[in-house]
Amino acid sequence: SPTTPVFSKDFLWGGATAANQLEGAWNQAGKGPSIADALPGGNERFAIASQPEFNWQIDEDKYHYPNHRGIEHYQHFKEDIKLFAEMGFRCYRFSIAWARIFPQGDEIEPNKAGLKFYDQLIDECLKYQIKPVITISHYEMPLNLAKKYGGWKNRQLILFYERFAKVVLERYYQKVHYWMTFNEINSAFHFPVMSQGLVPSNGAKDFTNIVQAWHNQFVASSLAVKIGHRLNSDLQIGCMVLYATSYAYDADPRNQLANLQQMQDFNFFCTDVQVRGEYPSSTGRMLQAHGVDPQKLKITEEDLQLLKDYPVDYIGFSYYMSTVTDVTHQDVATSAGNLIGGVSNPFLKTSDWGWQVDPTGLRIALNQLYDRYQKPLFVVENGLGAFDKLTADNQVHDNYRIDYLRRHIQAMAGAVADGVDLMGYTPWGCIDLVSASTGQMSKRYGFIYVDLDDQGQGSSNRIPKDSFYWYQKVVQSNGSKL
């Protein structure tokens, strides 16, 4: 049942996006191509990237690449931030396109024109007292780092990321208080394409590479924390994971055990390292289950010390849906999901894309994470990808989205009442943008409709949806008018 909202008065209400999914201008002002620019649009995007011959080639004759145009935020950012301000955003989570700052990734000097864009973007936010929340790396890296260096499994990427993080932290630390080092770092468990730059042709099939890439990212993340805290020890630098609350199918102890292990390996492995500063005791079991020989991993004593010395300050996470673990039945119905599928839960309804909608799962997630780590939590992504219909008089009546968000905010309120320290809430794709998993525009999350279709055709006009006016009231009332 709904709980009376209890959000702190400085609760960070806002919205979230990622550079590669909205900026467009993929080859302007010195920007290099990123791995996201090499992913075709459509449901088959991962299937294409999983073919053995795929090696990050961009073939514009054959495929449509929606991230190239995005929603032209690069040109429209002032208009977009103004709309966010109209909704009353107190913060705005966005990412910095690595390839705008280091076009090939391995340069020594940054691209000044790229930095200039973020100077303007940040100042535009501050003009409206919107606090920027920056993801340093959100599902992209300069394409060259995937092609020439083989993605994150290569240790040299630590140095390149450190250089990138240093440039942006030094430039913006006085204006930006909240940071995250890597988006959904754990998603590589199933899909190492976007977060690690790994496809079958450069090693994605071997879990050793995924674990090595994680280790390199953990070290890189700690280096960013080190740089940030030296600049200002108050900076809040978080990790970011894809959290999918997972239930055992039934009380069969075998399903319970499998679910426990699933929760540990998928939801907690990365946060254990990034928050506690050391590998969890379950690491050996997980490596063994995936045929990884620990001797093959390159992990130094200095690395382990760095992880220990520079853990993150808070836990950012995305939450869209829950999953079910079942190892004892065959022929059970399955469902799709946020990079992970699973068994269908008969108690839940699904979104247009088959994701199982479960607000209570968010309350469970918040409790599980807070009980385990006692660190502030930040729900930095949540939302409903749905088909929207623009009416003849330019309106979008998206009450299904309002209903989804309302129920998740009620769940957060419940968790706060449970004692969880929750910093804020930035629903995903606060303005319609290109979907990460399917490269579609028609999978819309926004409070603001963007007139573009899956082929990138349209005026790119911005049109507030009904949810825009609803969220405005939610923020104004600090979550009490839902």
Binding site for ligand BG6 (CB under 6 A): 18, 21, 139, 183-184, 242, 318, 338, 381, 385, 428, 435-438, 443
Cβ atoms of 450 and 456 within 8 Å: the answer is no
Q: Which 3 state secondary structure label does DSSP give 42?
A: coil
User: In whole angstroms, what is the distance from residue 381 CA to residue 362 CA?
Assistant: 11
Cβ atoms of 322 and 244 within 8 Å: the answer is yes
Indicate the residue among 381 and 388 with the shorter CB distance to ligand BG6.
381
Residues 6 or more apart whose CB falls under 8 angstroms from that of 365 comprise 243, 245, 317, 319
Indicate the residue among 307 and 369 with the shorter CB distance to ligand BG6.
369
Cβ atoms of 129 and 12 within 8 Å: the answer is no
User: In whole angstroms, what is the distance from residue 453 CA to residue 336 CA?
Assistant: 23
Which among 109, 3, 99, 15 is positioned nearest to 447, based on CA atoms? 15
Cβ atoms of 185 and 240 within 8 Å: the answer is yes
* Selected catalytic residue, list 23, 124, 140, 381: 381
Indicate the residue among 18 and 145 with the shorter CB distance to ligand BG6.
18
How is residue 432 written in tokens?
């319609």
Containing H/E element for 462? Answer: strand 462-464
How is residue 401 written in tokens?
């989205």
Helix 466-476 and helix 73-87, axial crossing angle in degrees, nearest 10: 50
Side chain identity at residue 209, one-letter code = N
Is 381 a residue of the active site?
yes
Q: How far is the CB of 4 from ligand BG6 (least distance, A)?
A: 30
Containing H/E element for 415? Answer: helix 399-417
Helices (H) and strands (E) in the chain, counts: 17, 16
135 has which bridge partners? Answer: 95, 180
Q: How far is the CB of 338 from ligand BG6 (least distance, A)?
A: 5
290 has which bridge partners? Answer: none
Indicate the residue among 144 and 195 with the shorter CB distance to ligand BG6.
195
Which among 261, 266, 232, 236 is positioned nearest to 248, based on CA atoms? 261
Q: Which residue shows structure tokens 């990050």?
A: 56
Q: Which 3 state secondary structure label does DSSP give 30?
A: coil
Which among 137, 286, 292 is positioned nearest to 217, based on CA atoms? 137
Side chain identity at residue 217, one-letter code = Q
Q: How far is the CB of 337 from ligand BG6 (least distance, A)?
A: 10
Enzyme catalytic residues: 381
